[in-house]
Amino acid sequence: MKKLYKRSTAIAVSALMMSQMIPYNVFASENPTGPNSLTIHPYILSDAKYAEAKQANKTPSGLGTTDAIAADTDLADNYDATESQDVTFTLTEVTSTGAAKQGGIKITTPSKSFSSLPDGYYKITPNNTSTDANLKEVESFFIQLPSGSNRDVYIYPKLTDNHDNGDHNTPGTLHDATDPTSKDKHSIELTKKLSGDAAWTSGMSATFQLYSQDAMGNWVDGGTHDTDANGKVIVDGLPYGTYYMYETSAVTGYLKNSSPVKFVLDGTASSVQKADLTNDKKLTVSKAIDVDGKGHTYNWTITADVPVNSENLMSYSITDTFENLKEVNVVSVFSGSDELDEDVDYTVSTNGNKLTVEIDDPSSLESDADIVIKVESKLVDGFTSGSEATNTSSIDYQYAYDPDNDSRIPSQIPNDIPNIPNPNPDDPDPTDPNNPPVVSYPDGTEEELHNTETVTPATITISNYATGTTTELKKSKYSITGCSNHDDDDASDIVTLENLAPGVYEITQLGTQENYKIDENVKTIFIDKNGKVYEGDTADSTKEITNKKIIFYNDPISDNFQLPFTGTTATIVFTIGGIAIMAGAAFFIIVLFKKKDEEEEEQNKA
């Protein structure tokens, strides 16, 4: 018997211990954590009473602790029964932090009563389709079910009517600020300004995102808002609270200002809350081909903007990407009228076909004064005449706005709220004054940050004709600006110059064929970046030399009067002539002396 008792006790103890390892709900009923029901009795606090309470830091007069606990039709004097009857709600299951619960309950059909709700946390949001009471999502509140031991829960939320005549989304004409029910107290106004006092003109537009926080500190998307024709954004009918405006799209040609603008609506202001936000002009770069007649040396000028507030620059560099060019070098860098020193003010680096000039301390640049960079280059070997040489300049920079810390969007704003992007993605820690919001360019869409220029080198020919004919003469020699002297050959009778850079050239004839006079007229030509050739020193379309052939005309030396020979030929001729004269003189002397000898001999015989 004792043995049976011991065995039964051991089995009972083991069963008890094992039961502690089994989840509680194994033995629970089918719905042990519910269902819960929720019934909402909303009370709309008047705007005037809210302001009174705010100013006195107390509960509005006439309200007791039991005033809110009544049927919808039996409200305290300070609440509007008509408006409260018209308010309904939507419901979303959330986590303990107020974020939407993944896979949780979401009831979007407006109602005042909800049933079959499991235990958990819920966000209750006023429905904004009411024609009388105008409430926004920022007035949402949270509740935990069950409430204590109650599963059938009744709540009496005190809400605030905006008294904005239902126009709580569309910017419009504001009411009289002296009116206690004026929607001015529920309105914010942001005015866009452009750097350098540039005028706001028709067609300009910027877009802003509005954010606020609910009772649990979660961010609420207040929608996008565009500037009007005067550069203003006005949002009316906002519940009291703290709001932030963040620029998502700037005016074309201007930098996006990443600084969030803070507005506080507390019901005590006598007029609409106003603020300004200034945008600096977007930086651009241009590229120009220098026409300086350097022969086969191609010079370029890069001009890049510097912002009005250069102290906001965190980095600044200019890159030149080139094709069909070699020996690309930076000749000079100027900031306004000041020439910068390499390795002191800027650094030059090369990487393949890229040349980069990086300003070491961009914040010290002269504000609103261009950066001007002179670049020198040559064509690559074996360049095909008539092809293009390409240069593309681009500007890369980071520009920071550093407003007061209390104007920043708090750092706890999440990045993962559905359909709400991080309003300040360029600022990982907005609360750090040493880490201001930064705008980086280019971002792949800023075409104006790049500028491409092409040049087609010119090929010209030089020839000379006998005056009045089309007969090309030989053995000519020429001097061309920026090039070495050039001679023709007996085969072509023409000098050919390839791949000449744009610029003004002077061509002088130094020599020509025998029996012809040198043409002393200096020929001036202009070559443009497209490889066209013109007479004179400008691109005059009426003087284009379409065949790119420059011709000198040589007059023949007269048959009746010929200039004495010079040079090698003359030396040979005069040498032969001299020998002939000397031989003739010797012969004459020999004959003369022989005749004299014969005469003397005959006289002796006589």
Residue 366 carries which DSSP code? P
| Averaged confidence pLDDT in the chain | 75
The Cα–Cα gap between 123 and 134 comes to 19
What b/e sequence results for 445-475 when a residue is b if at least 16 CB atoms lie within 10 Å of its CB, and e otherwise?
A: eeeebbbebbbbbbbbbbbbbbeeeeebbbe
Task: Determine if the peptide bond prior to 146 is cis (ω within 30°).
Answer: yes
In DSSP terms, 106 is beta-bridged to 92
The CATH code that applies to domain 458-554 is 2.60.40.10
C-alpha distances (whole Å) from 599 to each of 256, 586, 588, 589 are 124, 20, 16, 15
Of 602 and 463, which is predicted with more confidence? 463
Mean pLDDT of 390-413: 67
Mean pLDDT of 382-403: 81
**Domains 164-281+408-425 and 285-401+437-454 alike in fold:** yes
pLDDT at 316 over 80: yes
Of 127 and 271, which is predicted with more confidence? 127
pLDDT at 238 over 60: yes
Mean pLDDT of 333-353: 93
* SS3 sequence of 189-240: EEEEEEHHHECCCCCCCCEEEEEEECCCCCEEEEEEEECCCCCEEEECCCCC
| pLDDT at residue number 12 | 44
C-alpha distances (whole Å) from 605 to each of 45, 155, 182, 596 are 173, 178, 163, 14
- State pLDDT tens for residues 521-562: 999 999 999 999 999 999 999 999 999 999 999 999 875 445
Confidence band of 342 (pLDDT split at 50, 70, 90): very high
Its CATH class, for the domain covering 164-281+408-425, is mainly beta
- How many other C-beta atoms are found inside a 10 Å radius of the C-beta of residue 326? 12
Mean pLDDT of 441-451: 63
Q: What is the DSSP string of 116-165?
A: EEPSEEEEEEE-TT-SS----GGG-EEEEESBTTBSEEEE--EEE---ST
| pLDDT at residue number 427 | 56
- How many other C-beta atoms are found inside a 10 Å radius of the C-beta of residue 62? 10
pLDDT at 475 over 90: no
pLDDT at 208 over 60: yes
| pLDDT at residue number 335 | 93
Residues belonging to the chain: 606
- How many other C-beta atoms are found inside a 10 Å radius of the C-beta of residue 95? 13
pLDDT at 506 over 50: yes
- In three-state secondary structure terms, 105 is coil
The Cα–Cα gap between 354 and 367 comes to 27
Q: Spell out the domain ranges in the chain.
A: 7-160, 164-281+408-425, 285-401+437-454, 458-554, 564-606
Q: Which region among 52-66, 235-249, 290-304, 349-363 has the lowest average model confidence (pLDDT)?
A: 52-66
Q: Which region among 25-39, 115-129, 330-344, 411-425 has the lowest average model confidence (pLDDT)?
A: 411-425
| pLDDT at residue number 549 | 95
Task: Determine if the peptide bond prior to 35 is cis (ω within 30°).
Answer: yes
pLDDT at 61 over 80: no
Confidence band of 602 (pLDDT split at 50, 70, 90): low
- How many other C-beta atoms are found inside a 10 Å radius of the C-beta of residue 478? 22
Residue showing tokens 């105008």: 134
Residue showing tokens 């005015």: 191
Could you give the percent of the chain with pLDDT greater than 90?
A: 26
The Cα–Cα gap between 318 and 61 comes to 67
pLDDT at 478 over 90: yes
Residue showing tokens 């007059």: 555
| pLDDT at residue number 371 | 95
* CA contacts within 13 A on the Cβ side of 94: 21
Mean pLDDT of 423-429: 55
pLDDT at 407 over 90: no
Q: Are 502 and 491 in contact (CB under 8 A)?
A: no
Nearest to 191 by CA among 208, 176, 169, 168: 208
pTM of the model: 0.62
pLDDT at 302 over 90: yes
In DSSP terms, 152 is beta-bridged to 37
Of 586 and 50, which is predicted with more confidence? 586
| pLDDT at residue number 99 | 79
- State pLDDT tens for residues 73-124: 333 445 555 555 667 889 999 888 787 888 999 999 988 899 999 999 999 9
| pLDDT at residue number 354 | 92
Confidence band of 20 (pLDDT split at 50, 70, 90): very low
Would you state the structure tokens that stand for residue 106, as one six-digit string?
A: 């979401």
| pLDDT at residue number 347 | 95
- State pLDDT tens for residues 448-470: 568 889 999 999 999 999 999 98
Of 385 and 89, which is predicted with more confidence? 89
Mean pLDDT of 256-266: 79
Mean pLDDT of 5-34: 41
Query: Which CATH topology does 285-401+437-454 take?
Result: Immunoglobulin-like (2.60.40)
The CATH code that applies to domain 7-160 is 2.60.40
Sign of CA dihedral 472, 478, 481, 483: positive
Nearest to 304 by CA among 389, 377, 362: 362
| pLDDT at residue number 75 | 38
* CA contacts within 13 A on the Cβ side of 212: 21
| pLDDT at residue number 544 | 95
The Cα–Cα gap between 357 and 343 comes to 10
Beta-sheet strand order (sheet of 503-511):
486-487, 477-480, 503-511, 523-527, 533-535
Q: Which region among 68-82, 146-160, 397-411, 449-463 has the lowest average model confidence (pLDDT)?
A: 68-82
Of 340 and 367, which is predicted with more confidence? 340
Confidence band of 408 (pLDDT split at 50, 70, 90): low
pLDDT at 571 over 90: no
